[in-house]
């Protein structure tokens, strides 16, 4: 098995503790490093209501021979325990035939000790069943649930709905892709008491919650707005492989958690220590004042909950005539949080305030500076696609040349009075100037 290669033997043992705990063994403990050979991990199981202790030897190597099985056998036999004991050798590699034969021999022999051999392939299976993935030299977290993507089209339609002059029937097919990205939520409890010769000088009794990005190179907290978003929706998870979750998407990416469960726990513990470290002043029995830095220790901190989850990040594309519109958002059922809004903004200048209007001539969305009224149809047309002509010195906007020519013919039939009325702003301006002049003269 090529993975896990970069680990030292001790790191490998620590990971196995994670694997076995998640797999369902009880009281899984890595033995002190100075401990006996052949007893790397001790754990317990209950079989038919009876407790049984398991002595585990971890071998981070390509091939494990008989000698190691023999060593484990004697370590298990001499293990001081009142409950029945069995043995297990776990390796990232394979067992030699001699090692396997030796196990059979022990089982058939006098003491009847049962020894289980877990090779690299079996280890991978166990890890997956335990919800952990062996990748990049780590037992990465594997998560099977996600916040639900919800109705994919709704957020898109909502954005188009807030644009003037757009009919739902004009919105064609919406293409959507989803990227499930990993987040880990951790709760840590700190119960620390700091004592000196004068008694307890400081106590910490706190519960902290962290939300971390699961796929950054180091575990790091998610940003505040995502945090709020996740807090709003109180984690209504659905199964990631539920067909309805993946329905309707043109492409699906599921990102990996790039760290082991223990990495996230360690990060959280470090964070807790940093947050609750305090320098406390106290007066000693000799009446001298002292400063003591109170740092919670590992044993003061317990991780009470670790929940991995996926958040669906959806990217949609919609085409309206000559223009394409994208919307990127995180979804959680009925709720969503927009990351990038490519719909509610002017196609020409990017303006995205208050009111925008659709140009049904070219499919663009426009701010007030880039939308005009089509002279013949009386409907909105954008400054970009319109054909323009001057009438009574005023610039007029048309869908196309035919409309302009049609209007030109009509205009030429107008009475001089009506022609002048074509430029109302100029008339109003003129009247105002005359009024001001009159007031001035009077």
Which residues contact Zn ion (rule: CB under 5 A)? 346, 348-349, 351, 359, 361-362, 364, 367, 370, 382, 385
Nearer to Zn ion, 4 or 382 (CB): 382
Least separation in angstroms between CB 392 and Zn ion = 24
Concatenated DSSP letters of 291-356: EEEE---GGGEEEEEEEEEEEEEEEEEEEETTEEEEEEEEEETTEEEEEEESSSS-TTT---SS--
Question: What is d(CA 275, CA 271) in angstroms, rounded to the nearest whole number?
Answer: 6
- Sign of the Cα torsion 402, 407, 408, 409 reads positive
Q: Smallest distance, Å, CB 315 to Zn ion?
A: 24
Number of residues in the chain: 442
Shortest Cβ 341–Zn ion spacing (Å): 15
**Whose Cβ is closer to Zn ion: residue 337's or residue 370's?**
370
The Cα angle at residue 155 between residues 153 and 156, in degrees rounded to 5:
65
Is 7 or 387 the residue whose CB approaches Zn ion more closely?
Answer: 387
The least distance separating Zn ion from the CB of residue 389, rounded to whole angstroms, comes to 16
- The span from the CA of 308 to the CA of 133, in Å, is 13
> Would you say 351 or 411 has its CB closer to Zn ion?
351
Shortest Å, Cβ 368 to Zn ion: 8
Dist CA 83 CA 166 (whole Å):
76
CB of 125 to Zn ion, least distance (A): 59
Task: Take residue 419 and report the two structure tokens written for it.
Answer: 């022609």
Determine contact, residues 399/374, Cβ cutoff 8 Å.
yes
Residue 359 CB, nearest distance to Zn ion (Å)?
3
Structure tokens at 31: 């033995």
Is residue 313 within 8 Å of 178, Cβ to Cβ? yes
Are 336 and 226 in contact by the 8 Å Cβ rule? The answer is no
Of 23 and 351, nearer to Zn ion (C-beta) is 351
- If one counts every other C-beta atom within 10 angstroms of the C-beta of residue 369, the result is 11
- CA separation (Å) from 413 to 206, 400, 407, 417, 425? 85, 21, 10, 11, 22
Please identify, using beta-carbon distances, which residue of 183 and 386 lies nearer to Zn ion. Answer: 386
Shortest approach of Zn ion to residue 165 CB, angstroms? Answer: 11
Cβ proximity to Zn ion: between 165 and 262 the closer is: 165
Q: Which is nearer to Zn ion, 168 or 350 (CB)?
A: 350
Q: C-beta of 381: minimal distance to Zn ion in Å?
A: 6
Q: Provide the 10 A C-beta neighbour count for residue 288.
A: 8
CB of 385 vs Zn ion, minimal distance in Å: 3
| Residue number, 134 or 365, with CB nearest to Zn ion | 365
Cβ–Cβ < 8 Å for 245, 219: no
Q: Quick one: 240 or 356, whose CB is closer to Zn ion?
A: 356
Q: Are 277 and 297 contacting, i.e. CB atoms less than 8 angstroms apart?
A: no
| 148: nearest Cα among 264, 45, 234, 217 | 234
């Amino acid at each position: 098995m090529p993975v896990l290669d970069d680990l030292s033997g001790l790191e490998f043992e620590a990971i196995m503790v994670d694997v076995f705990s998640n797999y369902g063994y009880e009281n899984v403990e890595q033995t002190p490093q100075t401990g006996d050979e052949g007893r790397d991990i001790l754990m317990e199981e209950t079989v038919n209501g009876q407790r049984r202790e398991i002595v585990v030897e971890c071998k981070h190597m390509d091939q494990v021979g008989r000698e190691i099985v023999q060593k484990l056998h004697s370590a298990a036999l001499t293990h001081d325990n009142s409950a029945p004991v069995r043995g297990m050798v776990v390796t990232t590699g394979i067992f030699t035939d001699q090692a396997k034969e030796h196990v059979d021999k022990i089982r058939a022999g006098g003491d009847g000790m049962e020894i289980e051999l877990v090779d690299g392939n079996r280890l991978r299976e166990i890890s997956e069943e335990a919800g952990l993935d062996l990748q990049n030299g780590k037992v990465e977290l594997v998560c099977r649930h996600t916040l639900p993507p919800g109705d994919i089209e709704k957020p898109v339609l909502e954005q188009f709905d807030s644009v003037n002059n757009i009919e739902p029937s004009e919105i064609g097919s919406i293409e959507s892709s989803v990227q499930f990205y990993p987040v880990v939520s951790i709760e840590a409890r700190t119960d620390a008491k700091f004592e000196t010769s004068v008694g307890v000088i400081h106590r910490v009794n706190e519960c902290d919650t962290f939300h971390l990005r699961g796929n950054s190179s180091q575990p790091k907290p998610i940003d505040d707005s995502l945090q709020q978003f996740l807090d709003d929706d109180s984690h209504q998870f659905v199964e990631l492989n539920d067909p309805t979750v993946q329905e309707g998407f043109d492409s699906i990416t599921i990102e990996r958690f790039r760290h082991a469960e223990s990495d996230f726990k360690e990060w959280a513990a470090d964070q807790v220590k940093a947050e609750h470290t305090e320098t406390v002043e106290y007066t000693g029995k000799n009446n001298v004042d002292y400063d003591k830095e109170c740092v919670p220790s590992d044993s003061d901190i317990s991780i009470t909950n670790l929940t991995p989850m996926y958040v669906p990040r959806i990217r949609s594309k919609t085409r309206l005539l000559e223009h394409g519109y994208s919307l990127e958002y995180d979804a959680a059922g009925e709720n969503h949080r927009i990351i990038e809004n490519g719909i509610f903004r002017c196609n020409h200048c990017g303006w995205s305030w208050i009111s925008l209007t659709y140009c049904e001539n070219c499919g663009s969305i426009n701010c007030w500076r880039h939308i005009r009224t089509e002279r013949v149809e009386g409907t909105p047309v954008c400054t970009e696609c319109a054909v323009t002509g001057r009438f009574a010195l005023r610039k007029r906007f048309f869908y196309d040349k035919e409309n302009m020519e049609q209007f030109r013919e009509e205009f030429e039939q107008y009475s001089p009075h009506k022609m002048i009325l074509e430029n109302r702003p100029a008339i109003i301006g003129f009247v105002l100037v005359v009024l001001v002049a009159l007031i001035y003269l009077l």
